[in-house]
Structure 1
Amino acid sequence: MKVVKFGGSSVASAVQFEKVFKIIVGDPERKIVVVSAPGKRDDQDIKTTDLLIQLAHSVTGDTYSKDLLNRVISRYGDIVNGLQLEQHLLDDIEDSLLATIHEHRLEEGRLLDALKASGEDNNAKLMANYLSSKGYEAKYISPKEAGIIVTAQPGNAKILPEAYVEIAKLRDHSGILVVPGFFGYSHSGHIVTFPRGGSDITGSILAAGIGATEYENFTDVDSIFSVNPNLVNQPMEIKEITYKEMRELAYSGFSVFHDEALQPVVEKRIPVRVKNTNHPESPGTSIVAERKPTKHPVVGIASDKGFSSINLTKYLMNREVGFGRHLLEILEDENVSYEHTPSGIDTMSIIIRNHQLSSGKEERIIKRIQEELLVEEIHMERDLAMIMVVGEGMAKTVGIASKATTALSNAGVNIKMINQGSSEVSMMFGVDESQVDLAVTSLYYAYFSSNKSDHG
């Protein structure tokens, strides 16, 4: 039994629905289908989820933007009409959206979650209806019925361990089950969404819960590439990658697969395959627990922007018991998580995503560090980008770091910081945001400029 998930571009139109239908029925093991909300139909289009977010922000008391509501309904109307489905489905969608607005109009967080979730929810109902219209036994299953019980914080749902007992019961159903991605239900009955990109998470949770033989994740690319294809012409395709490698790349900016989506399948060692809805015959990329070594120690290079670094200097810092604990407690008190902590004998840097330093948090953190840790110097470094060079083979290969630093030096890129984790699966380089694309391109050609066919 396979779980198969289709991203927003895969279910954006009636034409895409027809492609998805052929994929689902083309393999009898594809029993559980997870769908996203309708995505972009072209580069100028807007995602349905973004329209729903705008709609939520337009709600004031009993008023809302009728134009935005009609634009949302129109997206589903194109699918319903293109597939010649029953028109009452559109009336049902409009009624459910109006009911959601009325029920949660005074609860901003709950309203936003419920409207965002409706994008996937209504698309799942249409998909189940379409499969049934084609003569297949298919049923829409809500996340509540599926047993996807989550924590209660709006926009940041986490699956609860007891949910897996209920999810396992899905194996007893007959036919094809269509489940909306992106959200679950709290114990109090509220809709709670996963972080953005959370349909990947739903698929992974269901795959782990039913003990799937494989979790297929259909998107709009033939495979995962070794680097952002917008930076390099015809980059290397990755045929096989480990969970650890994928986690590092997804965290660092690879948008093909949500980084939080790996945890459920990792624990059950369920293989993941990323494939293209538009070219389903392509083998795609397999994400597995272990892979055979290849000639290429580096599997991929990723980057992400939007970081700042708090840089500290204090003489004999390394001998001060509890210094690091105290520093991290200050961050914890402000509900701020850190990404990396490169350090020297008398220096330490804390790398944080910019969005966590709003609402006066930056000023309070710096003030407390100065007053409580008595550092000799502290300064913020902004507009940083993080680059991750990833590959499980790096630990056993001489010269990996020197190849990177030489490539960056030859390109005129100033390295702000270097950090390598104890697992040696990745190396991190901090550079100015203005130089990140140049840096990534330089690193790619340093590691992948030869022997393309050897890469696995």
Structure 2
Amino acid sequence: MKVIKFGGSSLASATQLKKVFKIVQSDPERRFVVVSAPGKRNAEDTKVTDALIKYYKEYTSGQDVSASQDWIINRYQDMADELGFDAKSIAKIAKSIRELASLPIEDNDFLYDAFLAAGEDNNAKLIAEYFTHQGLSARYIHPKKAGIFVSAEPGNARILSSSYDRIEELRNSDEVLVIPGFFGVTEDNQICTFSRGGSDITGSIIAAGVKADLYENFTDVDGIFAAHPGIIHNPHSIKELTYREMRELAYAGFSVLHDEALLPAYRGRIPLVIKNTNNPDHPGTRIVLKHTGETCPVVGIAADDDFVSINTSKYLMNREVGFGRKLLQVLEDLNIRWEHMPTGIDDLSLVLRSRELTPIKEEEILRQLNHSLEVDKAEIEHDLSIIMIVGENMKNHVGVAATATAALSERNINLAMISQGASEVSVIFVVKTEQRNQALQALYDAFFRN
């Protein structure tokens, strides 16, 4: 029994929907289909989700929304026309889109979520009807009826553990169930979305809930590459990753799979495979609990930008009880999250994402470091990137870090910091953003081309 999820690019047009139907029809074990909102048909096109955001802004600011309503409705109508069938669901879709403009604006924390979720919800209605028209026994099911109950956290919903018993009942259905991704329903019956890209999360939740044998996540690429193909020319694709490896790579910029989507499938011990809608016969990349065979020490290299570092120095810092706690308390009081903490005897750095800081917060951090913690030196360094080499097998190989640092040294790339956890699944190098591409190329050459 398989759960299968399709992203927006796989559902953008009639041509793509025909491919999706063939994929689902080709395997009777594909019984649960999770869908995203329609993506772009071409570079100049607009995603339905982006059109819904525009519609929301017009509605909440008192502007005329009729043009946005018509565009979104016609987007679904165009797909039905291209598919060549008279979709009865279009009337329901049109009603659903227009009714968004009747929802209360004041004191409605879930209004934005209701607008965003309409893209996935209405697409699922159309796709279920198309499958049925093509002779496949299929049915649309709303997340509420599917049992996807979530916490009341707009834009950041989390599945309630009690939901899984309800979701398991879906196993009893004889039809292919088409489920909209990206959102669930609170216990107070409010639409509440997962974080952006959350259709991956829905697929993972359904897979764990129905105890699927496999969760297939269809995108527009042949699996996962060992490095970013926009930076590295023709990087090789990865056949197999563990969940821990994928989590590390997703954190550091691998956007093929939403990183939060890994958790339900990981806890449910469900294997996951990334496949290509446009090339469904390609084996893709499997994500499993443990490697099934021999693997290289480094399976992938990721890079991510927009980091800053808060650097502190204080003589005899290591002898001062509570210094680290006091420093972290400064950040907590300012509601700032940190990512990494490289340390020395008298030095401590905190690496965080630049979006966490504002000029006012930076000024307050430096003031408290200098006056409350009485450090000898404090500075905030901007324009940093992290490069991460990942592989669970690194701990069994001597010299991985040495190979990496030698490769960077040969290209005259200066390392601001190095960080490695006790698990040895990854090593993080912090470099200036202007040297990020060179560093990524150097590491890829060292571990894959040489």
Task: Give me the TM-score of the superposition, normalised by structure 1.
Answer: 0.94
Q: What is aligned with 2:437?
A: 437
Q: Which amino acid aligns with 1:347?
A: D
User: CA offset at residue 324 of structure 1?
Assistant: 1.8
Aligned 1:57-456 pairs, distance under 5 A: 57-60=57-60, 62-106=62-106, 109-292=109-292, 294=294, 296-358=296-358, 360-450=360-450
In structure 2, what is the Cα distance between the partners aligned to 1:74 and 1:365? Answer: 51
Return the alpha-carbon distance in structure 1 between the equivalents of residues 396 and 61 of structure 2: 62
Q: 1:314: Cα distance to partner?
A: 1.6
Shifted more, 348-357 versus 204-213: the winner is: 348-357
Gaps of 5+ in 1: 451-456
Report the CA distance shift for 1:420/1:137 in structure 2 as closer, same or farther (over 3 A).
same
Name 2:39's counterpart in structure 1.
Answer: 39
Letter in 1 for 2:98: L
- Of stretches 266-275 and 64-73 in structure 1, the one that deviates more from structure 2 is 64-73
Structure 2 vs 1, CA of residues 358 and 142 (structure 1 numbering), >3 Å: closer, same or farther? Answer: farther
| Alignment correspondent of 2:4 | 4
Change beyond 3 A, Cα 1:107–1:385: farther
CA gap 1:107/1:23 in 2 versus in 1, 3 angstroms: farther
CA deviation digits over 1:282-315, x for unaligned, max 9? 1111000000453521000011111111111122
CA contact (8 A) 1:55 1:64 kept: no
| Cα distance change on mapping 1:403 and 1:8 into 2, 3 Å | same
Shift of 1:154: 1.2
| CA displacement at 1:115 relative to structure 2 | 1.1
SS of residue paired to 2:216: strand
Q: Deviations over 1:313-344 (max 9, x none)?
A: 12222222222223223322333221111111
Distance 1:366 1:66, change over 3 A: farther
Letter in structure 2 aligned against 1:405 = T
State the 1:19 CA deviation: 0.5
Q: Distance in 1 between matches of 2:104 and 2:446?
A: 54
> 1:30 offset after TM fit, Å?
0.7
Q: Deviations over 1:28-60 (max 9, x none)?
A: 111111000111222333322122122212223
Instruction: Using the aligned pairs only, state the percent identity.
Output: 51
- The 10-residue stretch of structure 1 (350-359 or 265-274) with the greater mean CA deviation from structure 2: 350-359
Q: Is the 8 A contact 1:62 1:102 kept in 2?
A: no
Do the aligned partners of 2:87 and 2:129 also contact (CA within 8 Å) in 1?
A: no
How many residues end up aligned between the 2 structures?
A: 450
Shift in Å, 1:75: 2.2
Distance 2:98 2:364 in 1: 42
Output the CA distance in 2 between the equivalents of 1:388 and 1:108: 41
**1:162 deviation in Å?**
1.2
Q: Distance in 1 between matches of 2:158 and 2:370?
A: 35
- Alpha carbons of 1:104 and 1:378: their partners in 2 closer, same or farther (altered >3 Å)? farther
- Mean Cα displacement is larger for which, 409-418 or 199-208? 409-418
In 2, Cα distance between the equivalents of 1:249 and 1:426?
A: 9
After superposing the two structures, state which structure 1 stretch, 346-355 or 297-306, moved more. Answer: 346-355
CA distance in 2, matches of 1:407, 1:324: 33
Give the partner amino acid of 2:154.
Answer: P
Q: Deviations over 1:408-437 (max 9, x none)?
A: 222232211110111101000111112211
User: Does structure 2 conserve the Cα–Cα contact (< 8 Å) formed by 1:62 and 1:105?
Assistant: no
Q: 1:31 is paired with a residue of what secondary structure?
A: strand
Q: Deviations over 1:244-288 (max 9, x none)?
A: 100000111001111111111111211001100011111111000
Q: Which amino acid aligns with 2:214?
A: E
**Residue 107 of structure 1: CA displacement?**
5.0
State the distance in 1 between where 2:273 and 2:392 align: 19
- Give the letter aligned to residue 142 of structure 1: H
Secondary structure in 1 matching 2:54: helix
CA distance in 2, matches of 1:218, 1:424: 30
Q: Which amino acid aligns with 1:308?
A: V
| Contact 1:101–1:111 (8 Å) recurs in 2 | no
Q: Partners in 1 of 2:126 and 2:140 — Cα distance?
A: 9
Output the TM-score relative to the length of structure 2. 0.96
**CA contact 2:90–2:126 (8 Å) conserved in 1:** no
Change (3 A) 1:71 1:358: farther
| Separation in structure 2 between the aligned mates of residue 221 and residue 244 of structure 1, nearest angstrom | 21
Shift in alpha-carbon separation, 1:445–1:104, aligned structure 2, 3 A: farther
Amino acid at match of 1:163: S
SS at match of 1:409: helix
What's the RMSD between the two structures over aligned residues? Answer: 1.7
1:453 is matched with none
Question: Greater shift after overlay, 393-402 or 289-298?
Answer: 289-298
* Cα distance in structure 1, aligned partners of 2:413 and 2:70: 49
